């Protein structure tokens, strides 16, 4: 907002000041979204869940139900030994 205010004071043009705000706001959005995804992935990691990427977090958010099966699709980050032969 400081840049928009300075732009308005120097040019007295509202459109130029608003365009500055739009550019500044879009840059903030581009930075905030990846940070939110990385933060969610870090929180999942603390709880023992490894997420392959942000795309998968977004898909989970839209899911009504998650089914766990034996195919290895959903796994823990730590392997466990069942039996040593």
Q: Which residues of 44-83 are buried (b: 16+ CB within 10 A; e: fewer)?
A: eeeeeeebeeeeeeeeeeeeeeeeeeeeeeeeeeeeeeee
Catalytic position from the list 69, 78, 80, 82: 69
Structure-token match 């043009």, residue found: 13
Nearest to 54 by CA among 40, 73, 64, 66: 40
**Is residue 69 annotated as part of the catalytic site, yes or no?**
yes
Provide the annotated active-site residues: 69
């Amino acid at each position: 907002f400081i840049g928009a205010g300075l732009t308005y004071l120097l040019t007295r043009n509202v459109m130029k000041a608003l365009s500055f705000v739009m550019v500044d706001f879009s840059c903030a959005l581009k930075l905030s979204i990846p940070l939110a995804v990385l933060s969610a992935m870090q929180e999942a990691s603390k709880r023992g869940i490894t997420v392959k990427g942000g795309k998968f977090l977004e898909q989970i958010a839209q899911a009504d139900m998650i089914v766990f099966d034996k195919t290895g699709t959903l796994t823990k980050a730590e392997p466990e030994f069942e039996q040593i032969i």
